[in-house]
């Protein structure tokens, strides 16, 4: 059974004792916000990860990726040489506060070293083949050093989540995640209704469901 905006709205309306009707458009907006949050930072975030690939051209540094819904690059892999490519900014410049706390999908953020992870090795500079990448635009990738041969590069990326607004819109999260989504929307609904204690309780439940904890 697929989760829809309508099915979540019905559950929320019951949980707030029908102070808000299931047809209230505010609930649909909250479902959309929670849906996006869950797909970016919960145990279901793997549903929002996709892959693509491209072939390099000798002497060309920048490449435009085909997908138009890239939120951030998670990793790049040289499939020809069986090598992982590393983010250039993590080894050449100080790490920003945002990067220090930037979590992977479904994970909590953690501290990083002030100047990233190590440094660019001399061997990497002399190899004549890409060892690092930089995401410099919505679809644009820059490789360093510049490739000197044709290589097949695989890319793993987190997608942007499409907005859901209609009652019949289907969530990417399966039925198994119903409690997580409902608890998140209940948190926003009770905050709107100024039920402070209930909002806090639903927020705690929501955070636990996101981390994979089953409440008994």
CA dihedral over 161, 170, 19, 177, signed as positive or negative: negative
**Dihedrals phi, psi of 198, to nearest 5 degrees:** -65, -40
With vertex at residue 28, the alpha carbon angle to CA 14 and CA 190, rounded to the nearest 5 degrees, is: 50
Q: Grade residue 1 by pLDDT with cuts at 50, 70 and 90.
A: confident
Q: pLDDT by residue (tens digit) across 43-66?
A: 999 999 999 999 999 999 999 999
Q: What is the pLDDT of residue 100?
A: 52
Checking 4-9 for CB contacts under 8 A at 24+ apart, the result is: 4/167, 4/168, 4/169, 4/170, 4/171, 5/31, 5/32, 5/164, 5/165, 5/166, 5/167, 5/168, 5/169, 5/171, 6/167, 6/168, 7/178, 8/171, 8/178, 8/181, 8/182, 8/185, 9/167
Question: Does residue 113 surpass a pLDDT of 50?
Answer: no
Query: Over 50: is that where the pLDDT of 4 sits?
Result: yes
pLDDT of 173 above 70 = yes
pLDDT in tens, 195-214: 999 999 999 999 999 999 88
What is the pTM (predicted TM-score) of this model? 0.82
Q: Looking at the predicted structure, is the pLDDT value of residue 180 above 80?
A: yes
């Amino acid at each position: 059974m697929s989760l829809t905006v309508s099915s979540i709205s019905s559950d929320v309306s019951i949980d707030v004792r029908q102070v808000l009707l299931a047809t209230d458009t505010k609930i649909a907006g909250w479902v959309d916000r929670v849906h996006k949050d869950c797909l970016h930072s919960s145990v279901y975030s793997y549903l929002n990860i996709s892959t693509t690939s491209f072939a390099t051209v000798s002497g060309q540094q920048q490449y435009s990726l085909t997908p138009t819904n890239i939120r951030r690059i998670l990793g790049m892999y040289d499939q020809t040489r069986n090598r992982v490519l590393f983010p250039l900014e993590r080894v050449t410049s100080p790490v920003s506060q945002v990067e220090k706390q930037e979590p992977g999908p479904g994970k909590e953020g953690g501290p990083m070293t002030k100047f990233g992870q190590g440094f660019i090795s001399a061997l990497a500079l002399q190899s004549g083949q890409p060892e690092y990448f930089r995401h410099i635009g919505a679809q644009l990738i820059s490789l360093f050093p510049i490739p000197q041969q044709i290589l097949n590069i695989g890319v793993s990326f987190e997608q942007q989540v499409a907005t859901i607004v209609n009652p019949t819109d289907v969530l990417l999260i399966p039925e198994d995640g119903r409690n997580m989504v409902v608890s998140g929307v209940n948190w926003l609904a009770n905050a709107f209704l100024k039920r402070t204690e209930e909002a806090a309780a639903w927020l705690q439940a929501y955070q636990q469901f996101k981390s994979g904890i089953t409440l008994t």
